[in-house]
Amino acid sequence: MKVVIVGGVAGGATAAARIRRLNEQAEIVVFERSGYISYANCGLPYYIGGVIEDPEDLTLQTPESFLSRFRIHMKVRHEVTAIHPDRKTVSVKNLETGEELEEHYDKLLLSPGAKPVWPGLPGMDSDRLFTLRTVEDTFRIKEFVDHRKPKSAVMVGGGFIGVELAENLRELGMDVTVVELSKQLMSPFDADMAAFIHAEMRKHGVKLALGNAVKGFEEKEDGIDVLLNDNAPLHADMVILAIGVSPESTLAKDAGLALGVKGSILVNDRMETSVPDIYAVGDAVQVKHYVTGADALIALAGPANKQGRIAADNICGGDSRYAGSQGSSVIKIFDMTAATTGINETNARKSGLDVDTVILSPMSHAGYYPGGKLMTMKVVFEKETYRLLGAQIVGYDGVDKRIDVLATAIHAGMKATELKDLDLAYAPPYSSAKDPVNMVGFMIDNISKGLKQWHLADAAMLPRDGSVTLLDTRTVEEYSRGHIDGFRNIPVDELRERIGEIEAGKPVYVICQSGLRSYIATRILEGYGFEAYNFAGGFRFYDALMNDRALIEASFACGMDK
Catalytic residues: 42
- As a whole number of angstroms, the distance between CA 376 and CA 520 comes to 20
Cβ atoms of 111 and 279 closer than 8 Å: no
Distances, alpha carbon 49 to alpha carbons 61, 74, 92, 169, 495, in Å: 23, 30, 36, 6, 53
Distances, alpha carbon 191 to alpha carbons 196, 197, 205, 308, in Å: 9, 10, 21, 34
Query: What is the H or E stretch that residue 31 is in?
Result: strand 27-32
Instruction: Say if strands 27-32 and 73-76 run parallel, antiparallel, or are unpaired.
Output: parallel
> For residue 10, which of 61, 65, 47 has the smallest C-alpha distance?
61
**Complete edge-to-edge strand list for the sheet that includes strand 329-333:** 329-333, 336-342, 388-395, 376-382, 355-360
Cβ atoms of 532 and 510 closer than 8 Å: yes
- As a whole number of angstroms, the distance between CA 362 and CA 446 comes to 17
76: which strand partners? 32
> For residue 329, which of 350, 300, 296, 369 has the smallest C-alpha distance?
300
- As a whole number of angstroms, the distance between CA 351 and CA 389 comes to 12
Cβ atoms of 40 and 61 closer than 8 Å: no
**Residue 341, C-beta contacts closer than 8 angstroms, at least 6 positions apart:** 326, 327, 328, 329, 390, 391, 403, 406, 407, 410
DSSP state for residue 514 in the 8-state scheme: S
Dihedral of CA atoms 400, 406, 412, 414 in degrees, nearest 10, equals 170
**Residue 177, C-beta contacts closer than 8 angstroms, at least 6 positions apart:** 152, 153, 154, 155, 206, 207, 208, 209, 234, 236, 560
